[in-house]
A and B are shown apart, each in its own frame.
Chain A
């Protein structure tokens, strides 16, 4: 099922998957809100690493036309770069949103621990 030689040759993508797992675990399990947001950023960055590696072709240049050379053999694949550009903007936006939510929660409950905030809310209701 696992092709180990292939895995070692694709070491960049393997590293991206391990980073994705680390980020996912952090987002899910960490109690501290800031660490959750850092986990989210790690997860998104891992996906961009994975995507950027898709377009790489050994020995070719970045896709900006120089000297009028327009043959396919001279440049790498431009599509994944465009997708990563879009993804980075999305990542920045959601990080800003989560951070402002954290600021509001901190001002109200004076703690960054998500479990404690849930407990305090349940107590407030009684």
Chain B
């Protein structure tokens, strides 16, 4: 066993341990520790990615002295390493970009608690990506929920506490359903390790016994994870939670937290139940319909909004609808397109949140559109970054969003079921138009010159050097966006090979 194969385990334990370690340090030390830890995890994940690409197969790593099915294990393949690397980069840039907001908005005695929550969130994300055991997945889903709630309510005003209450209620409903699904699955198969469960499920599907409990179990786990990742009818907690907390929390939540649950769902479909049984149970049709509705309704609600952060939050609902539509198409290309969209959406949405905070800073911290007029001239870099993010979301060529929409359209074309193809293409076109409506409206507004307004309300101009950490984050995000948009072929190949060894 090469030493590189130990690295995922070291990443998980390092991020887990910096949580309690930060509890005795002061605010500044915890921030440095956090940044060092995320950088280290990013470098280690890149090394694991290189190793798995070279070896061309996934390997399992025993957590303890006993092999599966008696002990715990984690499984590392190309897709897991790729996701871990990209997520560490995004997390690092989000935390760097929001440092000034955190110093101003949070109480000084509670600064280190923020970094503890961020560390635990990062650890749970890594564990969800790498795990090969379904009960471990449940425990780390709970850590994810609690630390995400901590990130929302760290900025304590009435709005965020009510938002975090709503978030906890919906999340705990989802967790309860997920746990019940896991218990049913354990009863039917007798195993908790994912590969062993899959063997038993194949036997059950072949013999046809326990059909109804298996179907109920699949439904419970899907609905539980859909509630937690804000699929359309369950999205009511999302705008309040993203719109009012501190900026780095919104960026981390929208880019990473919901995606962790979707990756767990894909893992359950491929590695626990088996994609053939899922397709036979037709649950993908339900996901497809809800995804389509989410794409349209998310954009419709975003058009009605007057607060820029809530508008971006509603656009997140629409993008999660895209991902579920891709999953619901049921084909291999659909899932590949969904995974690519997870990466591109994470990059663009975090960029939008960072740029929006730069724009609102230049408008006296007001978030409504009337005050944001002309902000593109007051904070040039944030204006350009916001424009690039919006163009990527709408699907302009050379940006990351265009590649994901292109692959979604291709997946829809190659689908065997023609009604699904027609519906998917029509709704893709409608939602692109709706996206353009509200994003372009915002871009035009921030580039409408309004010198009189700026003088009257005494809005300051912000230079690139004046917001140094945020400028760095914005430039890196823009670079990532261009990279995903223009050299997407290697990444698609990586995702495809990763999915083949995922099951």
Contacts and interface: CB of A to CB of B under 8 A. Distances in A.
A43 B176 contact: yes
A114 B161 CA distance: 12
B158 interface: yes
A20 B183 CA distance: 13
B142 A94 contact: yes
Contacts of B149: 97
A40 B183 contact: no
A20 B187 CA distance: 17
Interface in A12-53: 20, 23-24, 27-28, 33, 36, 40, 43-44, 47, 50-51
A86 interface: yes
Interface in A99-113: 101-102, 104-105, 108-109
B118 interface: no
- Interface size bracket, B side: 20 to 34
Among A24, A28, A121, chain B packs the most CB atoms within 10 A around the CB of: A121
B153 interface: yes
B168 A94 contact: yes
B179 A47 contact: yes
B482 interface: no
Contacts of B156: 104
B168 A97 contact: yes
Interface in B119-163: 135, 139, 142, 145-146, 149, 153, 156, 158-159, 161-162
Nearest to A43: B176
Nearest to A101: B165
Contacts of A94: 142, 145-146, 168, 172
B173 interface: yes
Contacts of B142: 90, 93-94
A123 B501 CA distance: 54
A101 B192 CA distance: 34
A28 B173 contact: yes
B146 A93 contact: yes
Contacts of A104: 156, 161
B158 A124 contact: yes
Contacts of A80: 186
A9 to B, nearest CB: 15
B429 interface: no
Nearest to B167: A101
Contacts, number: 71
A27 B135 contact: no
Contacts of A88: none
B180 interface: yes
A121 B159 contact: yes
B169 interface: yes
Interface residues of A, number: 36
Nearest to B173: A27
Contacts of A105: 158, 161-162, 165
B162 A121 contact: yes
A40 B431 CA distance: 37
Contact of B168 (A23, A43, A101, A117): A101
A105 B164 CA distance: 11
Interface string B34-59: 00000000000000000000000000
Contact of B176 (A36, A47, A93, A101): A47
A39 to B, nearest CB: 10
Contacts of B139: 86, 90
A57 interface: no
A98 interface: yes
Contacts of A108: 158, 161
Contacts of B153: 101
A121 B145 CA distance: 24
Interface of A: 1, 20, 23-24, 27-28, 33, 36, 40, 43-44, 47, 50-51, 54, 79-80, 83, 86-87, 90, 93-94, 97-98, 101-102, 104-105, 108-109, 114, 117-118, 121, 124
Given A43-B176, A105-B158, 13 more contacts: A27-B172, A28-B173, A40-B176, A94-B146, A94-B168, A97-B149, A98-B172, A101-B161, A101-B164, A104-B156, A108-B161, A121-B162, A124-B158
26 contacts: A20-B180, A24-B176, A27-B169, A27-B172, A33-B165, A47-B179, A47-B183, A50-B180, A51-B183, A54-B186, A54-B187, A80-B186, A83-B135, A83-B186, A90-B142, A93-B146, A94-B142, A94-B146, A97-B146, A101-B153, A101-B165, A101-B168, A105-B161, A108-B158, A114-B165, A121-B159
Interface of B: 135, 139, 142, 145-146, 149, 153, 156, 158-159, 161-162, 164-165, 168-169, 172-173, 176, 179-180, 183, 186-187, 192, 212
